[in-house]
Structure 1
Amino acid sequence: MENKETFNYIVNEYERFRPVYPKEMFNDIADYSSLKQGQKILEIGCGTGQATGGFVAKGFTDITCVELGDQLAQFTAEKFKGYPSVKVIHTAFEDWNGEGSPFDLAISGTAFHFIAPEFGYRRVWELLKPTGSMAFFWTVHVPMYDDLHQEIRLHYRDLAPHLNDAALPSPEEIIEDRRRITDKSGLFKNLLVKEYKEIQTLTSSDYVSLLNTNSKHRQLPKSVKDELFHRIQESVDRAGGTIQKDHRVALYLGKKA
């Protein structure tokens, strides 16, 4: 089980090492929702404002961000202090009073799974205008099976077998499961799922720093985590100092029914 509080304590690391969302995705969201400048966006779980920044860069700056973590909320408020219409509210989405509603678009980046779907989708539906849209997106881990990744799996087998990605549901299963959850709510129509794929190359240091922003890795005992990261970094260095990572994002679009 992931811990939704994890990222609040690693704000700078999260901002530096987490991959950004693809620019194409923001174009697709704007096109699907027919979003116009000045229309109101609700963001659920803004984190360090990575998705927020994607919309701001396109001129969509009327954004209300609801963020549980106090340090994350403070970071994002400071990051966008030059945009007075970007408002960051420090509270749990479940406790928020919906100030500023109704909204034209609701977005959430790699965060909505922390909210019970029975509550979350209904609440989003309530906060949207009749013509409103939702756009929820997640990074999806994709296992790779080249020699280097197979060697790294041996380290997981020895130190953290429950994190062996070969034993986890496939990316396709994960993406389909979220589609079913979204569809099951019955609150959104014209559901569309899009995927974005990119192969990234990371140094050994950046790779373990990225792993260190993953909540499941951070829940390991420190001695185990340190040894695991040491072995992984040594493996990558022996293989030439860089490692490839399949970066995938799944986007779920829907219109208020």
Structure 2
Amino acid sequence: MVSERVQSQVFGEVATDYDDVRPGYPVEIADRILAYAGRRPAAIAEVGAGTGKGTEVLRTLDAPITCVEPDAAMAGVLRRRFHDDEFVAIEVSRFEDWPPPADGVDLLASAQAWHWVSHQTRTRLAAEALAPGGVIALFAHDFGFDEDTATAMQNVYLKHAPEIAHGVPANLHPDVFHPDELRTSPLFSDFEQQEVIRVVPFPTPRYLRLLSTFSNHRMLPEQRRSQLHEAIAKLIDGRGGVLHQQLTTGLILARRAA
């Protein structure tokens, strides 16, 4: 049984850990966005900027960024990170409530957060926030494993928290893209989906800290979360004490239709 807390609003409880342990994004993501757009954006809006993991990559595009982040604690970490950067502005707001500039932005981006925006309105709001011909760029990590580790991990989840198990050999975290919304929308064109794959080592304690920043883990009652994490620690320690996470960074790109 999960708690009554709102799942999209639990990240601020662990904002500092989130900033420390969540993997950043390869700068190649910015290079690919720029190549797709064909020109450097004059203005960027970032949806669900969190503590600035995606902002760091977007900042390499050398354009003003408005970071829209609904969680005040997450925005606090973000503000400390970019406190002396005049190119970064922070709005503590849901994207659904944020008024975009009248002439739109050239690039609307979101890192690991698009699935938290209302599925009923996000595609329309994205188109409305973009200037004519503007680009939407959604990127996020898919935390996977080799098939043997995935099977062993899945068995742990099925025993201790079956409601948040997500299959084998796929990742153990839910899809964050919902690509068909953009692919089939008449509001967007030139849909592309790309990925960058890395392997990132996580020693047991650090991997448990990573799991503690995922909303589905945070929503578990504390005792059950502790039991699940103890079982995962036992699994990793039995395999040498380091989990080699297959980190696939997906990137979705589309252009506001004329």
* Shorter-chain TM-score above 0.5: yes
Contact 1:191-1:252 within 8 A present in 2 as well: yes
Match of 1:184?
A: 184
The letter for the 2-side match of 1:40 is A
Distance 1:47 1:234 in 2: 31
Distance 1:170 1:215 in 2: 15
CA RMSD of aligned residues (A): 2.4
Answer 1 or 2: which has greater helix percent: 1
Contact 1:132-1:256 within 8 A present in 2 as well: yes
Gap runs ≥5 in structure 2 = none
Aligned residues: percent identity?
26
State the SS of the aligned residue for 2:40: coil
Q: 1:154 offset after TM fit, Å?
A: 3.0
Report 1:8-27 matches (<5 A): 8-27=12-31
Does residue 42 (structure 1) correspond to residue 45 (structure 2)? The answer is yes
Match of 2:8?
A: 4
State the SS of the aligned residue for 2:91: strand
Contact 2:123-2:181 within 8 A present in 1 as well: no
Distance 1:100 1:79 in 2: 28
1:75-97: CA deviation from partner (whole Å, max 9, x where unpaired): 11221111112100001111112
Count residues in correspondence. 252
Q: 1:102 offset after TM fit, Å?
A: 1.6
Closer/same/farther in 2, CA of residues 51 and 135 from structure 1, 3 Å limit = same
Does residue 204 (structure 1) correspond to residue 207 (structure 2)? The answer is no
Report 1:87-98 matches (<5 A): 87-98=89-100
State the SS of the aligned residue for 1:155: helix
Q: 1:256 offset after TM fit, Å?
A: 1.1
Q: 1:149 offset after TM fit, Å?
A: 4.2
The letter for the 1-side match of 2:37 is S
Q: 1:59 offset after TM fit, Å?
A: 4.7
Contact 1:61-1:83 within 8 A present in 2 as well: no
Distance 2:63 2:40 in 1: 10
State the SS of the aligned residue for 1:201: strand
Closer/same/farther in 2, CA of residues 159 and 189 from structure 1, 3 Å limit = same
Q: 1:106 offset after TM fit, Å?
A: 0.5
The letter for the 1-side match of 2:105 is F
Distance 2:77 2:63 in 1: 17
Distance 2:87 2:26 in 1: 24
Distance 1:55 1:237 in 2: 37
- Out of 219-228 and 177-186, give the one that drifted further: 177-186
Q: 1:61 offset after TM fit, Å?
A: 4.0
Report 1:112-131 matches (<5 A): 112-131=114-133
The letter for the 2-side match of 1:8 is G
Contact 2:144-2:150 within 8 A present in 1 as well: no
Contact 1:143-1:165 within 8 A present in 2 as well: no
TM-score (ref. length: structure 1): 0.89
Contact 1:109-1:137 within 8 A present in 2 as well: yes
Q: 1:174 offset after TM fit, Å?
A: 4.8
TM-score (ref. length: structure 2): 0.89
Distance 2:121 2:62 in 1: 27
The letter for the 2-side match of 1:48 is T
Distance 2:155 2:140 in 1: 27
1:84-120: CA deviation from partner (whole Å, max 9, x where unpaired): 1210000111111224752111001111111223411
Closer/same/farther in 2, CA of residues 54 and 18 from structure 1, 3 Å limit = same
Match of 1:157?
A: 158
- Out of 247-256 and 95-104, give the one that drifted further: 95-104
Distance 2:158 2:135 in 1: 43
